[in-house]
Amino acid sequence: MTIRKAVMPVAGFGTRFLPVTRAVPKNLLPVFDRPSVHLCVEEAVAAGIEDIIFIVSEGQEEPIARYFRPQPALEEALASRNNSAALEQMREISGMANVVCVTQTEQRGLGHAVLMAREMVGDESFAVFLPDDVIWADSPTIGEMIEVHRKTGGNVVGLEEVSDEDVPSKGIVAIERMSDTTSRIVGMVEKPALEDAPSNLAIVGRYVLGTEIFDTIENTPAGALDEIQLTDAIARHIESPGVYGYHFGGEHQDVGNPLGALKASVKAALDREEVAEELKSWLSCIVRY
């Protein structure tokens, strides 16, 4: 079973990142020098995904689509300046994947956003990325999750341990461990009070889902925050075809808030040879104050 499509919901006001999100879509803000949507598309493509379906809010379609579209005037300018490295990079971005945008006119929750992609996804299992979650891992996290989906035929979610403080803002699961990296999920609850949470294991924004999820979302009533929650729909498949968790390794940052985005930028810059040394020496000076 090949997974060829990924849905990336990016609609939303970006309230955790005001005021800059008054004018700039949150997932176009830089992680060092590229937006989180670029990093997620890169992860998807590395796992064999070809088609990306962004779910955007009104006004976001143009800036997101523009990022992935060829830009002839820019390419001409780079060519005339003999900047072949930048030119090649620009061409790589527009050639990364087939990108389409679907506009979500009402914001009724993550489940509702995923449902917007139904027609584009058609009749095949698909991946979902929440581009606030940026993950650096040796092997693409979504690729490992696609493997779990292949082996089990079930829905798969990314899992990470979170602090008590973060539990009430996440989807939280109860598991039966199968291996170091994989668990069977036996309970799921969206944004529980800490005392009702079955564990500290939270869903991170990576999913591999079967198409049965679309009918289920349609029949899922509003839940936490009075929104149609993807977690609630997935939970209805615990018995059949089953839900599995992938405990990913590597570094994860939530770039949907300023501190997470700053940490992600530092991490990304430390991975760049051309700036890493200067950044390290500046950081070691500045932290002394």
Binding range to ligand G1P, per CB under 6 A, among 43-51, 56-64, 135-143, 198-206: 198-206
Q: Would you count residue 145 as binding ligand G1P (CB under 6 A)? A: no
Q: In the complex with ligand G1P, which residue's Cβ is closer, 9 or 210?
A: 9
Q: Would you count residue 203 as binding ligand G1P (CB under 6 A)? A: yes
Q: Would you count residue 11 as binding ligand G1P (CB under 6 A)? A: no
Q: In the complex with ligand G1P, which residue's Cβ is closer, 133 or 144?
A: 133
**By C-alpha distance, which of 46, 93, 36, 89 is closest to 268?**
36
Whether cis (ω within 30° of 0) applies to the bond prior to 192 is no
CB 191 within 8 A of CB 225: yes
Radius of gyration for the alpha carbons in the chain, expressed in angstroms and rounded: 19
Q: Would you count residue 190 as binding ligand G1P (CB under 6 A)? A: yes
Helix (H, G, I), strand (E, B) or coil at 238: helix
Among 116, 204, 234, 238, binds ligand G1P (CB under 6 A): 204
Site string for ligand G1P, 15-54 (x = CB under 6 A): ----------------------------------------
Identify any residues that bridge with 30 across adjacent strands, giving them in sequence order. 35
Q: Would you count residue 110 as binding ligand G1P (CB under 6 A)? A: yes
CB 31 within 8 A of CB 153: no
Q: Would you count residue 260 as binding ligand G1P (CB under 6 A)? A: no
Considering only residues 228-247, where is the footprint of ligand G1P by CB under 6 A? 229-231
Angle at 211 between CA 206 and CA 49, to 5 degrees: 50
Q: Would you count residue 201 as binding ligand G1P (CB under 6 A)? A: no
Helix axes 273-286, 258-270, angle to 10 degrees: 120
Binding range to ligand G1P, per CB under 6 A, among 15-23, 93-101, 145-153, 203-211: 203-211
Q: How far is residue 280's CA from residue 5's CA, in Å, rounded to a whole number?
A: 38
Q: Would you count residue 60 as binding ligand G1P (CB under 6 A)? A: no
Q: How far is residue 150's CA from residue 139's CA, in Å, rounded to a whole number?
A: 17
Q: Would you count residue 141 as binding ligand G1P (CB under 6 A)? A: no
Work out the number of other CB atoms within 10 angstroms of the CB of residue 66: 10
Q: Contact positions toward ligand G1P, by CB under 6 A?
A: 110, 130, 132-133, 170-171, 190, 202-205, 229-231
